[in-house]
């Protein structure tokens, strides 16, 4: 009897234990698992990594990155894109904010270095603390034939281009007080360590020995005329004595060492000692006009073009001037060849070039711009020469080049521009008014 009761008690205990285990198992099963919080901030490249493009170009694919808080998009983070490219300086430090998807976008403009280039991406929180860094890559290849944007040059309208006797190219940009230089024919430009003065670069010229003159003040402010004998490392202000030194328009250094500066409302000023002293050179000229393209002949005769499109000549060193009439047309630009021949662009809308072989006494037409659909006025903006090849800039028809004007070839421009420079290796530099870039063309 006792044994029977014991067995029953044992059975009840076993049943209760089983029920307890089942209840316990059911409770554990229904209990939610604690969430694991991932607070890691990271940057993920969604697009634009590992591209391949030409140096100086904006990479074809937009860079898109996403900042994540664990696996959740992190909006409102500051994102900095650092393209450490030009002389080791970070270019394009553009702070952006991530959108609601945690994304930020960047157009990557490659530097001038051929090979692997890197783009540093930094995520900064609201307290200004850097929380994540990522590195993206691109392969930059050499440029080929055709037009390309110059690398490392900031955006900005080009105000002046000049190639020194050493081959170095100097450039000035609108509303930028720095000079930029290129030692590779314009493929890349770097900022010069020193600045000539506190105004926009208006004009650049140099002596045959490489002494540099930089005129500033292209923004209707008081101008400066700066001189450097050490390739731009140090500068001297030599504007004292220039007539009405406001808004320098043009500057020329002639074959016999005369330095002419044209200023707004000041006409022409002349220096015979590289800007140390100045004299007014306005006899016969209007102070209300401005002047460009001073050419000096071997015998000392001088020619200059007024912005009112009149050609003037001086036979007494620039102290007095009288008008020269080529044709019934106005004169737009002037070039003096080293052999004494003169070439003048005339008629703003028909684009003629006239030539004189007798010091301006008589002129003959050597070029007429061919008609171009919807080109408007076909003025020849500028004429210059590299080696045996003449180059001239055409409004609407590109760039013409020829060795004798009997046969003229044309290069199409990427977009309209008014500042151009054929280099000694026949590269061509041209400003682009639409994008504010400086382009070069490889032959």
Per-residue pLDDT tens for 5-29?
A: 434 434 433 433 333 333 333 334 4
Closest CA to 292 of 264, 273, 315: 264
Among 50-54, 73-77, 252-256, 416-420, which stretch is predicted with the lowest mean pLDDT? 416-420
pLDDT tens sequence across 169-178: 999 988 888 8
Q: What is the pLDDT at residue 42?
A: 95
User: Which of 47-51, 101-105, 206-210, 329-333 is predicted least confidently?
Assistant: 329-333
CB-based contact 49:64 (threshold 8 Å): no
What percentage of the chain has pLDDT greater than the value 90? Answer: 59
pLDDT of amino acid 416: 67
In the structure, what pLDDT confidence band is assigned to residue 104 with cuts at 50, 70 and 90? very high
Q: Find the range with the poorest average confidence among 276-285, 319-328, 343-352, 385-394.
A: 343-352
Contact 40, 47 (CB under 8 A): no
Chain segment 71-92, per-residue pLDDT in tens: 999 999 999 998 866 654 444 5
Is the pLDDT confidence value at 139 over 60?
A: yes
Query: What span, in angstroms and rounded, lies between the C-alpha atoms of 35 and 63?
Result: 34
Pairing of strands 130-141, 51-54: parallel
* DSSP label at residue 105: E
What is the model's pLDDT at position 298?
Answer: 95
Name all domains of the chain by residue range, CATH numbers in brackets.
41-141 (2.60.40.10)
Cα separation, 163 vs 29, in Å, equals: 82
Dig out the tokens for 255 from the structure: 């074959």
Mean confidence (pLDDT) of the chain = 85
Task: Write down the pTM of the prediction.
Answer: 0.83
Instruction: Give the total residue count for the chain.
Output: 443
Indicate the SS3 state at residue 203: strand
Alpha helices (H) in 266-312, listed in sequence order: none
Return the structure tokens found at 283.
Answer: 């006899």
Identify the three-state secondary structure at position 285. coil
Give SS3 for 33: coil
Distance, CA of 407 to CA of 359 (rounded, Å): 25
Find residue 117's DSSP bridge partners: 138
Position 313 scores a pLDDT of 97
CA 99 to chain CA mean position, Å? 31
- End-to-end distance of the chain based on CA atoms, in angstroms? 118
Output 386 or 93, whichever has higher pLDDT: 386
Contacts by residues 274-282 (CB-CB < 8 Å, ≥ 24 positions apart): 274/207, 274/211, 274/213, 274/227, 274/238, 275/213, 275/225, 275/227, 275/238, 275/239, 276/238, 277/241, 278/240, 278/241, 278/242, 278/243, 279/241, 279/319, 280/243, 281/314, 281/318, 281/319, 282/243
Return the pLDDT at 9: 36
The token pair that represents 326 in the structure block: 């080529």
Alpha helices (runs of H) in 346-440, residue ranges in sequence order:
none
Largest Cα–Cα separation, the chain: 150
Of 41 and 221, which is predicted with more confidence? Answer: 41
366-425 pLDDT, tens digit each: 999 887 666 567 788 889 999 999 999 887 568 999 999 999 998 877 666 778 899 999
Task: Using alpha carbons only, give the angle 416, 429, 297 rounded to the nearest 5 degrees.
Answer: 100
Could you tell me if 295 and 269 are in contact, meaning their C-beta atoms sit under 8 angstroms apart? no
Q: What is the DSSP letter of 27?
A: H
Residue 10 DSSP SS3:
helix
Q: Do residues 419 and 161 lie in contact, with contact meaning Cβ atoms separated by under 8 Å? A: yes
Give the whole-angstrom CA distance, residue 145 versus residue 96.
Answer: 36
Q: Would you tell me how many other CB atoms lie within 10 Å of the CB of residue 167?
A: 13
CA angle centred on 206, ends 234 and 421, rounded to 5°: 115
- pLDDT score of 87: 55
């Amino acid at each position: 009897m006792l044994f029977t009761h014991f067995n029953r008690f044992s059975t009840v205990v076993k049943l209760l234990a089983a029920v307890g285990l089942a209840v316990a198992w059911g409770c554990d099963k229904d209990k939610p698992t604690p969430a694991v919080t991932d607070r890691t901030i990271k940057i993920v490249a969604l697009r634009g990594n590992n591209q391949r493009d030409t140096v100086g170009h904006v990479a074809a694919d937009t860079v898109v990155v996403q900042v994540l808080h664990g696996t959740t998009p992190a909006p409102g983070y500051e994102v900095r894109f650092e393209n450490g490219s030009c002389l080791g300086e970070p270019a394009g430090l553009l702070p952006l904010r991530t959108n609601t998807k945690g994304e930020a976008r960047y157009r990557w403009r490659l530097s001038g270095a051929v090979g692997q280039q890197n783009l540093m991406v930094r995520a900064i929180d609201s307290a200004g603390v850097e929380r994540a860094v990522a590195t993206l890559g691109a392969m930059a290849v050499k440029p080929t034939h055709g037009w390309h944007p110059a690398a490392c040059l900031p955006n900005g309208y080009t105000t002046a281009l000049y190639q020194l006797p050493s081959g170095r190219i100097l450039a000035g940009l609108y509303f930028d007080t720095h000079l930029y230089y290129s030692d590779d024919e314009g493929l890349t430009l770097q900022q010069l360590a020193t600045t000539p003065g506190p105004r926009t670069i208006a004009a650049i010229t140099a002596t045959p020995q490489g002494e540099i003159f930089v005129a500033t003040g292209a923004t209707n402010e008081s101008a400066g005329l700066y001189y450097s004998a050490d390739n731009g490392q140090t500068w001297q202000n030599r504007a004292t004595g220039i007539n009405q030194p406001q808004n320098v328009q043009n500057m020329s250094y002639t074959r016999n060492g005369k330095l002419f500066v044209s200023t707004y409302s000041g006409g022409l000023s002349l220096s015979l000692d590289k800007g140390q002293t100045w004299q007014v050179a306005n006899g016969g000229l209007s102070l209300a006009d401005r002047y460009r393209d001073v050419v000096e002949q071997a015998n000392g005769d001088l020619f200059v073009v007024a912005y009112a499109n009149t050609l003037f000549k001086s036979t007494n060193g620039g102290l007095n001037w009288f008008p020269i009439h080529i044709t019934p047309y106005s004169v737009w630009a002037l070039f003096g060849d080293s052999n004494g021949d003169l070439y003048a662009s005339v008629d703003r809308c028909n684009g003629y070039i006239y030539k004189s072989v007798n010091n301006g006494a008589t002129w003959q037409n050597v070029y007429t711009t061919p008609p171009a659909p919807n080109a408007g006025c076909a003025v020849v903006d500028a004429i210059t020469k590299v080696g045996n090849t003449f180059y001239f800039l055409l409004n609407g028809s590109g760039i013409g080049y020829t060795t004798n004007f009997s046969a003229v070839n044309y290069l199409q421009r990427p977009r309209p521009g008014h500042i151009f420079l054929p280099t000694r290796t026949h590269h061509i530099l041209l400003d682009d008014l639409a994008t504010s870039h400086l382009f070069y063309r490889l032959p």
